[in-house]
Amino acid sequence: MKKIYLLITLFLVGYVQHSFAAITSTFNQVSRTDFNRISAELSLPLFWSEDRDHNNAISPDEVAVLWGITSTTQNMWIVGTNKFSPEFLNAYQRIVDVHQHGHAFTALPRKEVKRRNTVLKELAQSRPTLVATNLTNTTSEDQAIVKHILEAAKTIEKLYAMQQGVDGLAHQIPEDDTMSHTLFYRNQTPWCVASQTESDKNCNALPTKPKKISGLYPKEIQKKKTFCETLEKNPDNAKLLHQFAVVKNGGGSLTSIPYHQAYAREMQDVSISLQKAAQAITSKTEQPFKHYLLAASQAFLDDSWEQADEAWAKMNAENSKWYLRIAPDEVYFEPCSRKAGFHVSFARINQASLQWQRKLDPLKQEMEQEFAERAGEPYTVRKVSFHLPDFIDIVVNAGDARSPQGATVGQSLPNWGPVANEGRGRTVVMSNLYTDADSIKSKRDRAESLFCAASMESFRDDETLSLMKTILHEASHNLGPSHEYRAYGKTDDEAFGGPLASMLEELKAETGGLYFVDWLRKRNIISEKEAHQSYNDSVQWMFRQLSREMYTSSGKPRPYTQLAAIQFGHLLKNNALTWNSETLAANGKDKGCLELHLDQFPEAVHTLMETVAGIKGRGDKDGAKALQTAFVDNQGSTKKIYAVIKERNQRTPKTSFVYAVKY
């Protein structure tokens, strides 16, 4: 009898193993990279996170269901914990069909085929990269908080679409045009942004190819490229260009409508979601977070952002496990760089930041003194009390915080009001971005294609020094002439104009980040080796920025690309960098490479710091324009170097972050 049981058992085990092998073999027809690429092209909310068992086949526990693309849940695609649903099987077959035969365009007109192929080219310049958060084992309170904040985030995306002037346009995309649906979702507009396609007139998510028109200003005044300058000269410019207002044409004259009135319905919806999140909090440990949720909820009803900032500034890494910023903040997205864009950054606090805070917190006032000395008159040193960066692990970015390519890795807020002016703002570093294996490999490949072999000795794979650099960058936003500082009675927006002011503030922060590297080395807080690695990492950052044009296809300055050109050009001019046109790069393949002269960096950066801080401190528009002219508009011999940087960087698709949240 025992022999019979044994035979039956062996048979069943063999049958199960055979069945599993058969099932597995059906899910190995597409590589992980191709699965994720095609899934995006088909506008599917599916992502193959990693091949954990190294069998080259996707398994149910390796699938992430993405937030935001469609209204769906994990249960629709995965049954229980280890079985694919019929919906997933159908989706997988569609992916296999595209992998084997390509997209079916044969029945489409030639012009439409051309447009869709251009859309595919746009998407191919980015690599979907997953940011996954599993909260299934957290408390019911935590899960309720997450649910309501994700609801608010979806409404924020609608608000941002309204600001961009594109709300409702996605409904005009043909249902079968899945790649255009993905382009619209990823870019949050129908327009292309990747370097090889942004100027291509065929590249648009809509067959009608609408022109770019901001939703923040009347259409008729946007017909002139100089409409921003016209608004700045308007006697009522303070109201018209207020950061929390929309400009409308009322009876022949321009009027300013506060956000909470212009977007009343949507802002009320956000307010309700935040109220529900606050009501879910019953634990004593999260009371500061609850106070912020309630204050932000009120701000969405009456634009009382300064009061919300007060509650927000009282949160830190030691009194809450959550980080949330939900507000209108940054201005780079819109033509005049004056209006604040709605966004959400929702994250969990990473306690690793406390180590850096304890190192740098005692030095903040000395750093302010250093900035004041570099800036010179009329700027005078002030007492600073800003929070040093908290490390946060992003759960979801939405609205203006969800970039088509790349992501913000550090941020200092708010930009206006008493909290900003008195140096009481919060600074964060996004510590879980670019840490995946694919991003690390891409980083090394790009560096080896551009650096000479000797310069790769100061290269570092991990993001430790990138995080330090971001900390110093964000701290520098809070040092020296910043926020609403006035030089001879003018704020930086008034002295420089919106786009130039935005670029200069980022140049100040990025140069401050470079400057304080050697400053910390002299105080034995970091080693010389770490200082050199940080310089190397900063130049890599410049490479990424310089792979784009200095101006957008509509003629708006790109702040990060332009500041990178100023820094790179200055380092070349001061012999901290040299381009060796006849030397092979570290990869042994590419001719022409960049040599870092790390001993020259401190002096070259010191000179640049004095120039930039002085321009900001004096409100010196002529000095700022001179920097732009010298390094952005008149590139001279560096233009050829930039062409090489651009070509080699574009071999590797840029990161496009997607988000999955299980709760």
**79 HSE (CA, 13 A, CB side):** 7
Region of 489 (left: φ > 0; alpha: ψ -120 to 50; beta: rest) is left
Q: Is the pLDDT assigned to residue 491 strictly greater than 80? A: yes
Q: Label residue 353 by pLDDT band (50, 70, 90).
A: confident
**251-274 pLDDT tens trace:** 789 999 999 999 999 999 999 999
pLDDT at 17: 37
Lowest mean pLDDT among 13-22, 490-499, 532-541: 13-22
Report CA 90 to chain centroid distance, whole Å: 33
| Calpha distance 486→491 (Å, rounded) | 4
Q: Which of 140, 135, 392, 138 is nearest to 281 (CA)?
A: 140
Q: Which of 527, 531, 532 is nearest to 455 (CA)?
A: 532
Q: Which of 586, 574, 604 is nearest to 540 (CA)?
A: 586
Whether the Cβ atoms of residue 155 and residue 273 lie closer than 8 Å to each other: yes
Lowest mean pLDDT among 203-212, 475-484, 512-521, 636-645: 475-484
The rounded mean pLDDT for the chain is 93
Whether the Cβ atoms of residue 590 and residue 584 lie closer than 8 Å to each other: yes
Q: Indicate the pairing of strand 390-399 with strand 426-430.
A: parallel
Q: Is the pLDDT assigned to residue 511 strictly greater than 90? A: yes
What average pLDDT does this structure show over 345-368? Answer: 91
**Buried b / exposed e along 636-649 (16+ C-beta atoms within 10 A):** eebeebbebbbebb
Q: Label residue 25 by pLDDT band (50, 70, 90).
A: low
Position with higher pLDDT, 15 vs 412: 412
What average pLDDT does this structure show over 395-410? Answer: 96
| Calpha distance 457→439 (Å, rounded) | 20
| Calpha distance 540→57 (Å, rounded) | 35
What average pLDDT does this structure show over 116-145? Answer: 97
What average pLDDT does this structure show over 283-307? Answer: 98
pLDDT at 357: 84
Indicate the SS3 state at residue 376: coil
Q: Where are the alpha helices (DSSP H) in 283-385?
A: 287-302, 305-313, 353-360, 364-375
Prediction pTM value: 0.85
Scan for tokens 């960096």, then name that residue: 601
Concatenate the DSSP letters of all residues of 25-69 into one string.
HHT-SS-HHHHHHHHHHTT--EEE---TT-SSS--GGGEEEPSSS
**173-201 pLDDT tens trace:** 999 999 999 999 999 999 999 999 999 99
Position 237, amino acid: N
What average pLDDT does this structure show over 610-617? Answer: 97
pLDDT at 15: 37
Radius of gyration of the chain (CA): 26
Whether the Cβ atoms of residue 164 and residue 215 lie closer than 8 Å to each other: yes
Position with higher pLDDT, 299 vs 549: 299
pLDDT at 26: 83
Contacts of 451 (CB under 8 A, 6+ apart): 459, 536, 585, 586, 593, 594, 595, 596
What average pLDDT does this structure show over 628-651? Answer: 93
Q: Is the pLDDT assigned to residue 21 strictly greater than 60? A: no
Q: Count of CB atoms within 10 A of residue 148's CB?
A: 20
Q: List the domain boundaries for the chain.
A: 1-102, 439-663
pLDDT at 437: 86
Whether the Cβ atoms of residue 568 and residue 577 lie closer than 8 Å to each other: yes
Q: Is the pLDDT assigned to residue 474 strictly greater than 60? A: yes
| Calpha distance 399→628 (Å, rounded) | 30
Position 222, amino acid: Q
pLDDT at 12: 39
Q: Is the pLDDT assigned to residue 5 strictly greater than 60? A: no
Token representation of residue 121: 């080219």
pLDDT at 598: 98
pLDDT at 438: 87
What average pLDDT does this structure show over 142-162? Answer: 99
pLDDT at 10: 39
